[in-house]
């Protein structure tokens, strides 16, 4: 049974994923061996997992284009469609949802053209899919790797931030990508364990890891089985926000612990807000607060998300435990 200490450990590693057990012990005031044992239990039971990957952060232009794609399935074919979508690396996540669509997925490719072709040639053709609709992400204000449990005091949070390296690499190098790949499914993997794989000294690998911890283009995630830890549902709100109000509204969203992701999008509405909910009543409270503060930013649509089949490359079971990992990225190369 997960308790308050488990949440504190997860929260601490969200802030500094490679802090030592001794460092965490001092900050949490818990014996390091207890922290290590708790973490081992959480990971072995597949309730907690970690990932590391390269990203362009808030930019959705240049090197990377992301989109949310609605998918409609033929009756009785949703499970088959989910299985096929889960195998595809450019598809970061797969969500079951409500309304006229059965699923929505998050996809990343290199360009708008490659996105269009990928959806047409790799998604729309999957047997069982009868329709798609694409929403391009324009600017990502908040995303999952920045979401926190808020189980620690302000002093503990600051202590962890001070421990985290702050000098990023001057340039991206091929070895950085190799290090990221080596840490892709276990961000706490030791430099000694990676030495033979990378063919470099422990000290050099450790230096590169420290640099990547400070790099704005690397995402470090600590995820967990949300349905087993108190979040029974999720939702997406679609808002129509005046440009002059966007920054102020996003500032309010940053203060809400339910908000996992927020991005401006193309389409009939211009802002999508992704929420985790302990119960559906929380959605009423959030909508009421937004309506009171921003009466000129109406909520045009809301999707309920009863289940998540894939999150940031990890295939999940019905209890939201991790099953296996599909490397993220791997965009296809199209020939003209």
* Nearest CA-CA partner of 109 in 128, 95, 122, 126: 122
Q: Residue 214: what pLDDT? A: 96
| 143 touches 66 (CB < 8 A) | no
Q: How many residues does the chain have?
A: 336
CA distance 59 to 141: 9
Binned at pLDDT 50, 70 and 90, residue 63 comes out as low
Distance of CA 271 to the CA centre of its chain: 18
Higher pLDDT, 56 or 265: 265
Domain range annotation of the chain: 4-56+157-220
Evaluate if residue 44 carries a pLDDT over 80.
Answer: yes
**pLDDT band with cut points at 50, 70 and 90 for residue 55:** confident
Report which secondary-structure segment, H or E, holds 292: helix 281-293
Three-state DSSP string of 131-178: EEEEEEEEEEEECHHHCCCCCCCHHHHHHHHHHCCCCCCCCCCHHHHH
Alpha helices in 164-280 (DSSP H): 174-182, 191-198, 202-214, 246-254
Q: What is the 3-state secondary structure (H, E, C) of 30-84?
A: CCHHHHHHHHHHHHHCCCEEEEEEECCCCECCCCCEEEEEEEEECCCCHHHHHHH
């Amino acid at each position: 049974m997960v308790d308050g200490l488990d949440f504190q450990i997860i929260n601490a590693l969200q802030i500094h994923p490679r802090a030592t057990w001794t460092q965490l012990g001092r900050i949490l005031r818990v014996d390091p061996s207890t922290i290590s044992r708790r973490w081992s239990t959480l990971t072995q039971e597949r309730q907690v997992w970690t990932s590391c990957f390269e990203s362009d952060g808030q930019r959705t232009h240049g090197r990377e284009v992301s989109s949310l794609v609605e998918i409609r399935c033929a009756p009785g074919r949703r499970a088959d469609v989910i299985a096929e979508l889960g195998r595809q690396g450019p598809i970061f996540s797969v969500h079951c949802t409500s309304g006229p669509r059965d699923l929505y997925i998050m996809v990343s490719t290199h360009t708008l053209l490659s996105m269009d072709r990928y959806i047409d040639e790799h998604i729309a053709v999957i047997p069982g899919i009868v329709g798609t609709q694409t929403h391009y992400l324009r600017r990502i204000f908040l995303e999952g790797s920045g979401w926190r449990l808020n189980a620690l005091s302000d002093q503990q949070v600051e202590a962890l931030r001070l421990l985290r390296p702050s000098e990023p690499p001057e340039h991206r190098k091929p070895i950085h990508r190799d290090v990221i790949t080596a840490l892709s499914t276990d961000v706490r993997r030791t430099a000694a364990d990676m030495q033979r794989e990378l063919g470099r000294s422990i000290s050099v690998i450790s230096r590169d890891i420290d640099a990547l911890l400070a790099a704005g283009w690397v995402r470090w995630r600590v995820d967990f089985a949300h349905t087993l830890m108190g979040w029974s549902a999720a939702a997406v709100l679609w808002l129509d926000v005046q440009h002059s109000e966007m920054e102020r509204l996003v500032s309010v969203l940053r203060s809400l612990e339910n908000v996992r992701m927020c991005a401006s999008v193309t389409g009939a509405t211009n802002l999508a807000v992704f929420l985790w909910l302990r119960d559906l009543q929380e959605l009423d409270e959030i909508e009421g607060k937004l309506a009171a503060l921003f009466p000129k930013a109406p909520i045009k649509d809301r999707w309920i998300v009863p289940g998540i089949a894939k999150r940031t490359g990890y295939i999940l079971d019905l209890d939201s435990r991790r099953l296996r990992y599909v490397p993220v990225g791997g965009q296809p190369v199209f020939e003209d």
